[in-house]
Amino acid sequence: MGRKELEALQLERMKHIFQYCYDNVPFYHKRMDEAGFDPAKIRVLSDIEYMPYTTKEDIRDNYPTGLFAVPMKDIVRIHASSGTTGKPTVVGYTRNDLNNWSDCVARLVVAAGATSEDIVQISFGYGLFTGALGLHYGLEKIGATVIPISSGNTEKQVMMLNDLGVTALVSTPSYALYMSEVAREKGVLDSLKLRLGLFGSEGCTPEMRDQIEKGFHVFATDNYGMSELCGPGVSGECELRCGMHINEDHFYPELINPTTLQKVGPGEVGELVVTTLTKEGIPMLRYRTKDLTTIDYEPCKCGRTFARMAKPMGRSDDMLKIRGVNVFPTQIESVLMTEPHVGGHYQLIVRREGYFDTLEVKVELVDGSLLENYGQLESLQRKVAADLKSVLGIQAKVTLCEPKSIERFQGKAKRIVDLRNEK
């Protein structure tokens, strides 16, 4: 679809969803009245800018189902995101929502190279998390063979990959890396038929992706989403891997400066704000995702015309402020992954010592015997610290650890340990 035609469709859907929210969700009704926003007066797409943003706090304040636009009898599925603090974010889907959701995911997995011939192992946790069932229905829709193994029991995961000739893997990138280590230990790495990785749900720098591809001999693709917007299915990479195509007929994206809340200029990094154009269960109007990215509206060389968002460089609330300097974990990951002597597992520990914030970067060595060679160890440590300093602008303590000494995760990796508020 050309941009003009797409924008006409977006406008039609935008008018509908704003009116629908005004009529069916008391929270939005009040918000629009307070802002003097009349949904009947939307004429052009940019009229959306008169509508206030919706935030995670708004969802929390209306816990559990206050933002639902339909009665529970029309909701056919509930999911929830765990959330690090307080109550989970509960989301509900109507029958139409589930259909649209699987369409969106189906598009993304096809763009990434999946086909009906693929045997796909889904190693996301099944349950309230949207990742597993989201990919599950999208992949079934394209006729792939789905193995709903869920996460955990990594040795069994590897056995199934091998025994069933699995060709595509769905997981977080960090879990894929861990699985590849176990596959190597079990001696099955070379007999696997795995060719495609459909990874998502957490950040993965291109450098980390290289490590996974080397570990598993797969073509690794990335897809993005969040529970509040449906789950996976918002955007994903095609085989050219030059940004994640946003399903713009269902999700209207904007980018804002998270501090000034103003729209950012073309090509600039901003916080992604999304309006769901078709969701019935729990529509989101101008939802602040907190994810920082850029958007490219040029059609892709693959032929798809949807805008492409860059891999999120981090979340605005994931950013570490250390001695006044903004540090993104992705910057650290990029530095670490280009050093061949260190592995893909790392941890960032932030402490307060006196009035000073300190950052310790713990990373595993590929070869543990280096720990016995003090000279080499020290020079590697100095090199990594210098590379980090030149990228971050601050000094970090680098601790090189034995292989397999850093905790592994079977879902999203928790790499930041911020001890600053602990006694």
The residue type at 416: I
In the complex, what is the shortest distance from the CB of residue 223 to ligand DLL, in angstroms, rounded to a whole number? 5
Cα separation of 258 and 266, whole Å? 16
Task: Please list, residue by residue across 124-157, b when 16 or more beta carbons sit within 10 angstroms of its beta carbon and e when fewer do.
Answer: bbeeebbbbbbbbbbbbbbebbbbbbbbeebeeb
In the numeric block, which tokens belong to residue 414? Answer: 């928790």
Residues of this chain that bind ligand DLL (CB under 6 A): 81, 130-131, 200-203, 222-227, 231-232, 289, 291, 311-312, 315
In the complex, what is the shortest distance from the CB of residue 302 to ligand DLL, in angstroms, rounded to a whole number? 18
Q: Tokens 């926003």 appear where?
A: 37
Give the residue among 213, 365, 243 at the shortest CA–CA distance from 312.
243
In the numeric block, which tokens belong to residue 82? Answer: 């765990």
Cα separation of 230 and 28, whole Å? 19
- 314 pairs with which residues across the strands? 292
14 by Cβ neighbours in 10 Å (0-12 / 13-18 / 19+) ranks as: buried
Residue ranges of alpha helices (H) inside 36-128 are: 56-61, 95-112
Cα separation of 21 and 41, whole Å? 14
Choice between 39 and 200, CB closer to ligand DLL: 200
Choice between 39 and 225, CB closer to ligand DLL: 225
Q: What is the number of alpha carbons within 13 Å of residue 140 lying toward its C-beta?
A: 12
DSSP 54: B
Give the largest Cα separation in the chain, rounded: 72
The residue type at 408: R
Choice between 197 and 225, CB closer to ligand DLL: 225
Choice between 97 and 357, CB closer to ligand DLL: 97
CB-closest chain residue to ligand DLL: 200
The residue type at 244: M
In the complex, what is the shortest distance from the CB of residue 245 to ligand DLL, in angstroms, rounded to a whole number? 12
List of E strands, 40-183: 77-81, 89-93, 119-122, 145-147, 168-171
Cα separation of 13 and 422, whole Å? 48
In the complex, what is the shortest distance from the CB of residue 271 to ligand DLL, in angstroms, rounded to a whole number? 10
- Contacts (Cβ under 8 Å, ≥6 apart) of 5: none
In the complex, what is the shortest distance from the CB of residue 306 to ligand DLL, in angstroms, rounded to a whole number? 16
In the complex, what is the shortest distance from the CB of residue 239 to ligand DLL, in angstroms, rounded to a whole number? 16
DSSP 263: B
- What angle separates helix 329-337 from helix 374-392, to the nearest 10 degrees? 140
In this structure, the strands spanning 196-200 and 219-226 are parallel
In the numeric block, which tokens belong to residue 14? Answer: 């935008």
